[in-house]
Structure 1
Amino acid sequence: MTSTRTRWRFRTALAELRTAQKSSSGAAAYSRFINRPLGRPLAAAAAAAGLTPTQVTLLSALCTFSAIGLIAAAEPNAATSVAVAALLVLGYALDSADGQLARLTGTGSAAGEWLDHFFDALKAATIHLAVLISWARSDELPPAMLTVPLVYSAVASTYFFGMIGADFLRRAAGAPPGAGSGAAYRSSPLYALAVLPTDYGLLCLAMLLLWLPVPFATLYTLMAAATVAVLALAAMRWYRSLTALGDPE
């Protein structure tokens, strides 16, 4: 009976989640087309099991930081690279699931949102520092390459702050969700594909190449450069969107 009830709760929650999705504006392709669908059954399973959004957030953090620890501590090989990518992908899907569960159950809170952003900010910095440690042990990469993860860490942290800070200030000013310059364009599939190189989900998959220093370093460096370029454009857009609300300079 308990198993039957759990399956019914899962199917009911999964059906309800299809209509409880947040706006896709600004989301890159992996996050929009892969991660959110992956997070949906995880959120339904969490709802059927009686888990809270905070518990799902903690599970996400456990997966993510276990993977980051592996990057920093383990010698890269095919097995560890697959393990790192799998843990990061699962952690990212759970990161989507906690918000979906909160919307499904109406249990979202300021504390829960803060905790989610806290772990997001921590992983944005530390995943690149873990790559730095991994590269420092490699004999196949020149020492100058160590600057790439340092720059990537700074840019990723700045990008995350800029995105969250602009969203917070728009909401504080009473702007509707998704407001800002180019909101309609940023909801399009073309935009989602254009910003794919900056997608954290793509970085998760890129870890499959971690055991191949040169191919991984090449892809990683290209993603870092793309993130720098997108940050420069996004910073101007965020600033314009806030000045349009009448915020003082």
Structure 2
Amino acid sequence: MTTLRGSQKSSKGAAAYSRFVNRPLGRVFAALAASLGLAPNTVTAISALFTFTGLVLVATIPPSAVLGIGVALLLGIGYALDSADGQVARLSGGGSLAGEWLDHVVDAIKTSSVHVAVVIAWFRFTDLAPGWLLIPLVYLIADNARFFGLVLSDFLRRLDRGSSKMILKREGTTSTLYSLAVLPFDYGLLLLSFVLFAWMPAFVVLYGLLTLANVLVLPVAFRRWFREMKRLGSA
């Protein structure tokens, strides 16, 4: 566990759930995976199994309290395992480009699928007017744009410094206040929102607020990343 702590990704830019809940849980799963001799890609596959099982349930079973809690748990375990695969890779010497590619592809599919599952559930199991179904579609676009911008920015930073390795914990930090401020953009908060799935009006309001927050902040994030890339390109 001590070795895993030293192999953590930088907390720079990390939101509160990902930083204070998901990564510590991922560290536990990574230690278990390492003790079982599981490869990072195997951990990625197990993560995907938990995540997409939860999303299939959202799209196919009528909302209930049990379903909401079960989905939140499945997505939470999947998210923690998503953190664990990278930690296992770094523990074994840094992983591979193929492993990182697989991880990002699974994340990209997940980023789209969670909102597709929501729009299917709203269409099948609620009496919401058709216009409400646009909310998950808008969230999907904003979430995908943010994810691509984040991944591409990280890739270009590494390209600029001539390294394929990600920034480790000791190389960058973010204040606790910042981590709390960016919580609305954290996948962890989105997965926790499914606890409200049985109380659809509350879920719709929370999901709608998260959509609005992501849409409003996206131009700010793009501007910051673009200016950073310009600085890197002129250095």
Say yes or no: TM over 0.5: yes
User: In terms of Rg, which structure is larger?
Assistant: 1
Kindly indicate whether the alpha-carbon contact (under 8 Å) linking 1:20 and 1:104 is maintained by their aligned counterparts in 2.
yes
Q: Aligned equivalents of 2:150 and 2:162: distance in 1?
A: 15
Larger relative contact order (CA 8 Å, sep ≥ 6): 2
Give the C-alpha shift of residue 138 in structure 1: 3.4
Distance in 2 between residues matched to 1:93 and 1:245, nearest whole Å: 32
Q: Aligned to 2:184, what secondary structure does the other structure show?
A: helix
TM-score, normalised on structure 2?
A: 0.93
State the alpha-carbon separation in 2 of the partners of residues 64 and 246 from structure 1.
38
State which of 77, 87, 91 in structure 1 corresponds to 2:78. 91
Counterpart residue number, 1:153: 140
**Residue 219 of structure 1 corresponds to which residue in structure 2?**
206
Query: C-alpha separation between the residues in 2 aligned to 1:19 and 1:161?
Result: 27
Q: Residue type of the partner of 1:115? A: L
Letter in 1 for 2:151: I
Gaps of 5+ in 1: 1-13
| Residue 73 of structure 2 corresponds to residue 77 of structure 1 | no
C-alpha distance in 2 between matches for 1:175 and 1:242: 15
Q: Which residue of structure 2 lines up, in the alignment, with residue 7 of structure 1?
A: none
Residue 97 of structure 2 is aligned to residue 110 of structure 1:
yes
SS at match of 2:125: coil
Partner residue in 1 for 2:229: 242
Which residue, out of 34, 37, 40, partners 1:50?
A: 37
Counterpart of 2:82, as a letter, is D
**Hey, which bits of structure 1, 4+ residues long, moved more than 6 A?**
none
Is residue 138 from structure 1 mapped to residue 125 from structure 2 by the alignment? yes
Q: Secondary structure at the match of 1:18?
A: helix
Residues 153-172 of structure 1 aligned to structure 2 (within 5 Å):
153-172=140-159
Separation in structure 1 between the aligned mates of residue 4 and residue 81 of structure 2, nearest angstrom: 14
Corresponding residue pairs, total: 229
Between the aligned partners of 1:86 and 1:52, the Cα distance in structure 2 is 23
Aligned match for 1:122, one of 109, 123, 128: 109
Separation in 1, partners of 2:33, 2:101: 20
Q: Is the Cα contact below 8 Å between 2:62 and 2:125 reproduced in 1?
A: no
Give the equivalent residue in structure 2 for 1:174: 161
Does the CA-based 8 Å contact 1:141-1:214 persist in structure 2? no
Distance 2:179 2:127 in 1: 34
Where 2:209 maps in the other structure, the secondary structure is: helix
Distance in 2, matches of 1:121 and 1:113, equals 12
Counterpart AA for 2:76:
V
Task: After superposition, give the CA deviation of every residue in 1:90-149 in whole Å (9 maximum; x if it has no partner).
Answer: 000000001111111115000000000001000111110110000012344222110000
CA distance in 2, matches of 1:212, 1:190: 30
TM superposition shift of 1:37: 0.5
168-177 vs 135-144, which deviates more? 168-177
Over residues 186-243 of structure 1, what are the superposed CA-to-partner deviations in whole Å (9 max), with x where a residue is unaligned?
7111111111011000111101111211000000000111111221111001100100
Q: Is 1:41 aligned to residue 31 of structure 2?
A: no
Of residues 163, 184, 198, the one that matches 2:185 is 198
Q: 1:72–1:139: structure 2 CA closer, same or farther, 3 Å change rule?
A: closer
Please state if 1:26 is matched with 2:13: yes
TM-score normalised per structure 1: 0.88
